[in-house]
Structure 1
Amino acid sequence: MQRRPRGARGCLAALRYVLLAGAVGAAAAATDAGATPVILATVCGNTAAPNPEGFDVSFVNTMELIYQNVTRSGFGAAASGQGADAVFGLGQCFGYLSPTDCQLCYAQSRVKLPHCLPATGGRIYLDGCFLRFAPGNFTAVASDANDTAVCSNATVSAPAFAATAAVLVQNVTAAAPGAIGYYYGASAAAGPRVYAAAQCWRSLNTSACRACVASARDRVVRQCLPRATEGYGLNAGCVVRYSTQPFFLPANAAGGGSSSHRHIIIVVIASVLSALVVFGIAFVWAKMRSRRNDHHDDMDASSEIIRAIAASHLSFKYEELRKATEDFDQINKLGQGGYGSVYKGVLSDGREIAVKRLFFNTRQWADQFFNEVRLVSQVQHKNLVKLLGCSVEGPESLLVYEYLCNTSLDHYLFDAFKKTALDWERRLEIIHGTAEGLSYLHNASEIRIIHRDIKASNILLDERFRPKIADFGLARNFMEDQSHLSTGLAGTFGYMAPEYIVHGQLTEKADIYSYGVLVLEIITGRKSHNSVASSADGHSLMSLIWKHYNAGTLMELLDPNLREQCAEEEEALKVFHVGLLCAQASPNLRPPMWKVVEMLGSSRDSELPRPTQPPFIDIKGSNAKRDSSASSSLLSKSDNLPFSMNQLSVSVVHAR
């Protein structure tokens, strides 16, 4: 049962997850959490935002703040914006999810919930987490008119089932308000064994939690029992669930040692079966890849690429590359990218190469490999990394690139000692060269390409510190008559444009936004994605730059290593100005990359348009000065630690 969102922009296909940090643990492998979380209900508000663009920016900021806390503790509440643009949000993972499955569940809810926009409110219940946004502070609300129950269609006829399940649900809801994290789960024998759990959001107090689970309990017992094998009571502030399936591994279940042993056996069997299924699917898919019929155009394209590569000068023998990298020795490892590891290699003729190592263990990885080969082999520019070839016939897939001795920009820019090598002239050349490379991709190449993951770690530097854009695994090409692509969310948090995160519609403006963030990082020498946590006042880098721009004090943010090197203050201010123009919240106001190249090369006297405010996140800590323009974070007393943030490349890909 699912409520369809009002005003949704269309149904998305089933989501598939790629490369979130960590691996699913053995306990999680025995649960539903190892699979794509099921959406139980989606409820959207009836009121449209008066200023959708401003509301979207606040929505993105709020979701990012919640993400930072959910990935750390399983719960997050936050608010951004002012007045009609204010957005409050809350995310909660259920207590039986592992940290990795919590991230997976939040990722799905985070992609689905924007379908409620431009409504000013919405909530989504999955079978492992909850996410909600609204224009007012709802975090202490336990119940409201949208509370509901969801029951499975499958039934059970065991005589004792209904009574036992009802008693078990009664017990877990009685225990949850006093349990750690407001979560309690248990099981009992009832013909088929029955499992139950209750969870309140951590923003409630104990009395509100008690009232919430009692209400959800009564609803699920009344509507789902006596026969449904599974039921959910879905309230504004809590969830109550029972099932004949072991959706969690209860630490406090009835049944003693024999029950524990049974659960251990289930975990082991499920883990082994899951592994066999994954490898089996990968093996069968690889074997059948070249045998698809004409109805599977994407598979035919992959087979054609394999045959074409094998017969061309691009083809490398797997054994040759294995020897070049000394069997992929960790000493030769240059870095870890979003879709594989990169190793330095030396060919038998003495040429130095960079080998990108990918495994065919999921369909998505194969797609990334063929996408990168197809796109990069068709573009040639001095500011793009050159693809030398690849290996497609060995046990794993390898891409071979030119080797750049100075590795990536982030290794220098964010290192206190190495950044001294990046003087003003070199940073200007990196800013100019990256702009020229992107302009070529967007406008001058035979195919129009959007990179989707512009960031410091994807800008490689040659022996003279000249920039080359790398890692085209996420890139997408446009047809001439296309204005945008509707695509799954992919990229790196902190660099993704707000309209792309919210609506999933990809244009070259998303690259321009990422480039703007990169420019501001280069000139300040500060990371954008973790600037909030390192700021004493809770300001993000973007908000700090905007504050100094309005005050006319931007030079105070110039990297201290550059202050005596910059020949002209006007030149530095122009670079700040261009970065802000590219990072504006409104995509329509961002200049195209060819115009950015023109602005960077223009004389000091040329007048640039005034930028509008970029989207940014501010977190106010206990010692922060209050500012009426700042966003605020709503944390429970158990979540008052500084936010942590990691730089993950995250892909959420739609099925074809």
Structure 2
Amino acid sequence: MKRAILVPSITITTLVILLLPDALFADPRAQTINFRCGNILEHNTTIFASNFVANMENISDQVRTSGFGIAVTGSGPDANYGLAQCFGDLSLVDCVLCSSQARSVLPQCYPWTSGTIYLDGCFMRSDNYSFFEEYTGPNDHIVCGNITRDNSAFQESARQAISEAVSAAPNNNGYARARVAVSGTANESAYVLANCWRTLSASSCRACLENASASMLGCLPSSEGRALNTGCFMRYSNIDFLNPIPRNGNSRGRVMVIGLAVASAASVLIIGAVIGVYIWRQRIIQKKRKGSSDVKKLVKTLHDSSLNFKYATLEKATGSFDEANKLGHGGFGAVYKGVLQDGREIAVKRLFFNNKNRAGDFYNEVNIISSVDHKNLVRLLGGYMAPEYLAHGQLTEKADVYSFGVLLLEIVTGRENNRSKTTEYSDSLVTTAWKHFQRRTVEELFDPNLMLHNYHNINIKNEILRVVHIGLLCTQESPSLRPFMSKALEMLVNGEQLPEPTRPPFIDENTMELYDTSENTLSPLEHENVASVAGISHSIFFPR
């Protein structure tokens, strides 16, 4: 699809570029000529910064439409006064580029109250007082070029062009440009730009330009010079730096070309949309096919691994999936509490795959978990999820508290809370700790390497007993009963009385019945008219 649209896109881009006005290809002249900050600190940095940001946003919005912006935000010493203006030969596009560059630099004056920046194409200033009518000041100065032109004819042409611009600008909204050919040369000229800020009156503009021109003439015989005054900007050069005036051109022909470009663009977009819809539909079909394949893989995995109960067994254990036994609803179906004939409590997730794509997600989850063998993770017997994840489809912060409790028990006992595929089934560490706690024989669990027989201080044993107690509080079956991590740490440090822990989420594996898939195992592919898939996984939980 990318290749199909690439060539038409290039064609559209080419047509659009050919139609762009000449001014778009002009130079935004965003080079910084001078940047300075004030020497007075802000009164309240928070308020002033807020006012500055709001003011700059307001000014930027104005510049986008008129090439000029002026705004005031706040009052008193924390007020912000701002002004931005592009020079008269810049298009709006170039103006936005130039003013954006100025705005990115001006905040560097923080936390000073004022900042001024002159670029070759625009000007921006911010202060905490109204400076809008000022046209001269102590910071007025000139910037001269490094190349000297001893040609007296050029100097004369530069003086004449400067004079013409100073005379014309006050009566032309403060802007003028001039070009005077250098006598005795084939194509050399002197170019001048003069621009006053729009906040000045005609008389103030004239006074500013006269002052600026007098100073700038001091740059001669340099080939280039600039005057950066409080209320105006002037520049002369032997290079044509001025942006061209847009040409009108043949309106009728231009309209025809625009019409052809629009028609071509519309055609390409329609073709691209059709191709996109086709590819999208193909991907949907492929996903549906993949979802159906994943359902088959899921059923085969469960059957080959003997991870199925007879449906009748689970139905009886849950009271025919009675709503009274419903624990919650997760991402793939509802979870029910059940009791087997031997008295063991189980949780059964009844899967709902009304969308075959979801079978793929569940298949991937089962496939990944079943292949994991790590000391901090349990093996997949009939499906494993944390109790709160099974009941509600999401983990809580208390899952990490549970892991912390297991870690405490491992430290005290010197045992690992894990079980490999080659070992016999036995009680987990949390289960064992709980049983000893109930029998008041926790000391039997202590790691012999602690060598407590070398210590006669009873407080040491009490502290270790306290650690076991806190570990059991962190591994309680109900997440809501587990303390927050901050509280668990506080219990370890302080000597406050501890509440009695409730039982952890464990099942005695040694009495677990064997899986039997020889009778009436319900397959989702054999009963497509049934809303639920009864290849039910039997989830047995062990502490991590």
Q: Shared fold by TM > 0.5? A: no
**What range describes the TM-score normalised by the shorter chain of this pair?**
0.3 to 0.5
Normalised to the residue count of structure 2, the TM-score between the two structures is 0.43
In terms of Rg, which structure is larger? 2
Bigger relative CO (Cα 8 Å, ≥ 6 apart) = 1
Normalised to the residue count of structure 1, the TM-score between the two structures is 0.35
Higher helix share: 2
